[in-house]
Amino acid sequence: MAQPHLVLCNPDREESPLVAQVWSAIRQNAQELQQSERALARQVEEGVLRRDCFAEALGFWLARKLRTPELDVGALLDLIGAAFDADPSIVAQSAFDLQAIKDRDPACPNLLTPVLFFKGYQALQAYRISHRLWNEGRVHLARHLQSRISEVFAIDIHPAARIGKGVLVDHGTGLVIGETSVVEDDVSLLQGVTLGGTGKECGDRHPKIRRGVLIGAGAKVLGNIEVGEGAKIGAGSVVVSPVPPYTTVVGIPARPVGPPNTGMPALTMDQSIWTPDYVI
C-alpha cells in the first residue's frame, strides 16, 4: 500500500520561534539516535528525518499510535492536518508541552524522547485534536478519539475539557480529566490524577486548575472547585474544597499545611511536604 501523502507542513501556517527551535533539536536528536541505535534507525528515519516540519512529525506519530481499521493512518493525518490548519496554536501548544517536559522531568534526556516514547505527552497532543473536533461540533468523532486515546495510553481526557500550554503529564497512566475541567498554563499532573465530579450533577461540575499548580500522583480533585495559582496537592490527597493560591494541601480530605508556596510548584516539581519539627 502506498504511503499517504502528508500535507501537515502548511507554508501559510505561521510558525512560532519555539516550534522552529524544537524541530531543529528533534532532528539533531534523531540523527544521533539513528547512529547510536541501529535497531531504531528505520523508525527514526521514517518518523522524523523524512518529515519536513514539527507538525508533520507529530502528526505522523499520533496517527501511527491511534490508527484503527475504521480510521487508518491516512484518514487520521487528514484530520490532524485540518485541525492544525484550523487552529495553528495546537502546534505551538505542543511545542510548549514538549519544552515543559524537558525542563521539569529529569528522566527526559532530550526533546525527541517524549515524541517517540512518552505516552503522557502523546495523549495530551491527541486530546488537542479531539478538542478541536469537539469545538467544530463533530462530537461523535471527538468521542471516538477520546475512546481510542484511553485504549492506547490509559489516559482519559474529555474532548470538551480546556487545557492550556506548557502542561506536563508525567507518566500519565490512570489520568482522568472530566468534561468541564479547566487546566491553565504551566501545570504539572502526575499519574493517577483525577479531575472529576462528585456525583450525577450536570452542568459545570469539574475542577478549575490555575496556572503553576502541581498535582501529585493519585490525587483526586472533585467538583466545581478552584485550585488557585501556584498551589500544590500532595500525592494521594482527595480535594473537595477550593484551594487558595500558593497553598499546599494534603490528606483525605485535603487540608492546608505549611507556609505559602514561593514560586510555581509545577515548574520546580518539588513534591516535598512541610512538616513541623514536633506535634503537641
Write down the pLDDT at residue 269.
97
Mean pLDDT computed over 230-237: 98
- pLDDT for residue 277: 67
pLDDT, residue 5, reads 42
Annotate the chain with DSSP letters as a single string: -PPPPP----TTS---HHHHHHHHHHHHHHHHHHHH-GGGHHHHIIIIIT-SSHHHHHHHHHHHHH--SSS-HHHHHHHHHHHHHH-THHHHHHHHHHHHHHHH-TT--SSHHHHHH-HHHHHHHHHHHHHHHHHTT-HHHHHHHHHHHHHHHS-EE-TT-EE-SS-EE-S-TT-EE-TT-EE-SS-EE-TT-EEE-SSS--SS-S-EE-TT-EE-TT-EEESS-EE-TT-EE-TT-EE-S-B-TT-EEETTTTEEESSPP-S-HHHHT-------S---
> What pLDDT sits at residue 278?
65
Q: What is the pLDDT of residue 3?
A: 46
The Cβ of residue 84 has, within 10 Å, a number of other Cβ atoms equal to 25
pLDDT category of residue 7 using cuts at 50, 70 and 90: low
Count the Cβ atoms, other than its own, within 10 Å of residue 181: 25
Q: Which residues are registered as beta bridge partners of 169?
A: 189
- What's the pLDDT score for residue 125? 98
Q: Which of 10-14, 23-27, 64-68 has the lowest mean pLDDT?
A: 10-14
β-strand 214-215 against 188-189: which pairing, if any?
A: parallel
What is the share, in percent, of the chain residues with pLDDT greater than 70? 95
Q: What is the pLDDT of residues 191-219, one digit of tens each?
A: 999 999 998 889 999 999 999 999 999 99
Q: Which residue has the higher pLDDT, 125 or 276?
A: 125
Q: Is residue 280 very low, low, confident or very high in pLDDT (cuts 50, 70, 90)?
A: low
Predicted local distance difference test score (pLDDT) of residue 134: 98
Q: Rounded to two decimals, what is the model's pTM?
A: 0.93
By the 8 A CB rule, do 68 and 133 touch? Answer: no
Model confidence at 13, in pLDDT bands (50, 70, 90)? low
Instruction: Please give the domain boundaries of the chain with CATH numbers for all domains.
Output: 8-154 (1.10.3130.10), 174-270 (2.160.10.10)
Region 115-119 average pLDDT: 97
pLDDT for 2: 40
| Structure confidence at residue 271 (pLDDT) | 92
Taking only the tens place, the pLDDT of each residue in 64-85 is: 999 999 899 999 999 999 999 9
- Strand partners of residue 195: 177, 221
Question: Cell for 249?
Answer: 494541601
pLDDT > 50? residue 163: yes
Which pLDDT does position 145 carry in this prediction?
97
Q: What per-residue confidence (pLDDT) applies to 4?
A: 44
- pLDDT for the residue 16: 82
Phi and psi torsions of 108, nearest 5°: -100, 110
User: What band does 1 get if pLDDT is binned at 50, 70 and 90?
Assistant: very low
Contact 61, 123 (CB under 8 A): no
